[in-house]
Structure 1
Amino acid sequence: MSRLVNDTFLRALLREPTEHTPIWLMRQAGRYLPEYCETRRRAGSFLDLCKNKDLACEVTLQPLARYDLDAAILFSDILTVPDAMGLGLYFAEGEGPRFERPLKDEWEIRNLTAPDPHAELQYVMDAVSEIRRALDGSVPLIGFSGSPWTLACYMVEGGSSSDYRKVKSLAYSRPDLMHHILTVTADAVTAYLNAQIQSGAQAAMVFDSWGGVLSEEAYHTFSLPYLKRVVDGLIRENDGRRVPSIVFTKGGGLWLERIADIGADAVGLDWTMDIGRARALVGERVALQGNLDPNVLFAPPEVVAAEARKVLDSFGNHPGHVFNLGHGISQFTPPESVSVLVDTVHEHSRALRAGA
């Protein structure tokens, strides 16, 4: 087993006792950091940044140089998988990610195949290996992917969407084709995450960012079974250590108990559900990750600290909590607010343990 100085994050995911509540932030390496913006400028484009292992490593480590975070997360993008499927990812100025060849015709869907992650996505594996070397056992590295449903939304819509009309129309009118996309994509995501684990990722997270746009029945038809398919196929142990898995459906609080039953070690929560109530619902089944509203970070420092303490107090002095935001950090966040948040989580959670 490789040396790991701070394994608090991994132990919390496995619901083991920890000296403090670990914290990391979704999108913690991002545009709110001036140093990230400078590295991105040097890279020339977002995709060039993702595909350069040295620069991807550099931006992954930047937030850890500023803050006492308990985990690093690979710097990449969820759309690398459909890009490797041949859909032609590009980023249009002011429009976000787009695909040159979104899935429209039945023959295109039938021809969809899962890419070999060690061929088309080797640049991601190279970045994972480089980041692990640079971390030198200081904190764990999280690998990640988008969920099959979320990736399918982009693959059918061609980019972001306000109403998901195209992908929902396909799901309702041709469920056979929708299930084919999801099956192939789930297998691609599983292989992709396992390749990350084999390259050095010590935990795996699946972002189901758009699962919450579905009705309850549609979620249990088109999203949750494919999350389970991915989790069931993940490598569970590597380098002598358990590799925990986290699933996160934004807007999925209504289905929390069902999500907790798919076999992941932890479930991420957005900010719309009280984390204490969530813990009561899932019991001993999973750890929970979350769930401060990212916009709290625009408030004065004393409010940021108070809101962080509320989340910790609601969860209580129990094992199995990883502190995070309820979604990705905003690019407009003052970096100083993150310092307040991280320090408060560590200090208050230690005080909770001491007062037990």
Structure 2
Amino acid sequence: MEIYMLDGPPIAISATAIEASRSKEPILKIWEKYKKNIEEAKTLTNKVISFGHKIPEEFTSPSYAIERLTRLAALYFWAHINIQNLIYCAGIETSLRHVKIEKDQFCEEIKNRPEFLESTFQLYQSAIAQGVPIEDARYFLPEGISTRIVFSSSPRYIGKLSEILKSSQLPELQKIGNILANKIKELGYILEPEKPKYVWHFWEGLSDTESSEKIIETKGSLSMLAQLVRQRQLLCHVGSLEDIASRAEFVVPPSFSKELKEEYLGLAKKAVEIQKELLREKNPEFTYFLLLGQVANIKIETLNMDALKELSYARCCGASQWEIRQQGLAITNYLSEVGQKEIGPRCYRENICKEPGEAKNQCPVFKKTKGHSRQLSLKELSELLSTPYEIIKV
């Protein structure tokens, strides 16, 4: 695991983050390319912005890149960044919806259990070979696979985040926290520790104060949670990581055949056995063996309805992954029931679709309305976009 400071033109940082999300090229190699070719950086960045994605507009210099952190570490990182925790950060992560993983991306803790590694990787490959979308095949994968992120924030907020990471139980997170703290010191800052409102706990029996205008209870896979926690207007109180392992519930992607479903649940049982073994030892490395399809209980805390409207806007889109879209639709239906206006996805609010062609072609609403979805009722829109799925306890 390496952490780099990217100090240069913000537009080059934005382009680097975008390409790193869909590429296996080393981040520093991508960074050098765009630093030398600003016009190419402008073209890529503004193309993505034209599709309605605003994160590339938020990068400043210096920014930071973390290469080869685990998916678990990335999820833990993002889970603490939100307005209620008073931590601002903009960032992009490599998308496992689009980039296939390789065997060398498993962390050492997974590699030390070669039988489990072979099972999870072979099932992942087999699912893709059978035509299962990559975004569904990833439910076979454990949290102990490597990813990378590029992010931008101020010294204060990076310092605050580093304190959370340093105080965690997992050595990997502690290492990231210490390196980030040193990066801030290198810039000349000596920061006073600040206590966050929320910290995601590893062990059961710990909780945080919940004081908000609205709490919405839901549940979903860790794969979905990785997207939900990126809604920075919301705070997601997640059951402890130990609780996730103890519940042993799994989301089954609807694209899985009967045979794949059986193999998936068989792998889930193996993963749970390892998790319980490590839990008995109070070893926090059990978190690396949580599957991306494993279910967490979530309390969505919001200060106002506008934050929920933003979730509705961003996550109901037909281009969104089906599980996070189900969460978005549930929130949209709730907002409708309490009389809120200006809800639903962009195409419904603005009567235009800005997604690229490949995303349009996959959207049932666009196929029916060619982007003019205001001709539908909100109920008709929800029915077209809904993708029911199973949650099974093993």
TM-score (norm 1): 0.28
Larger RCO: 1 or 2 (CA < 8 Å, sep 6+): 1
TM-score (norm 2): 0.26
Highest Rg: 1 or 2? 2
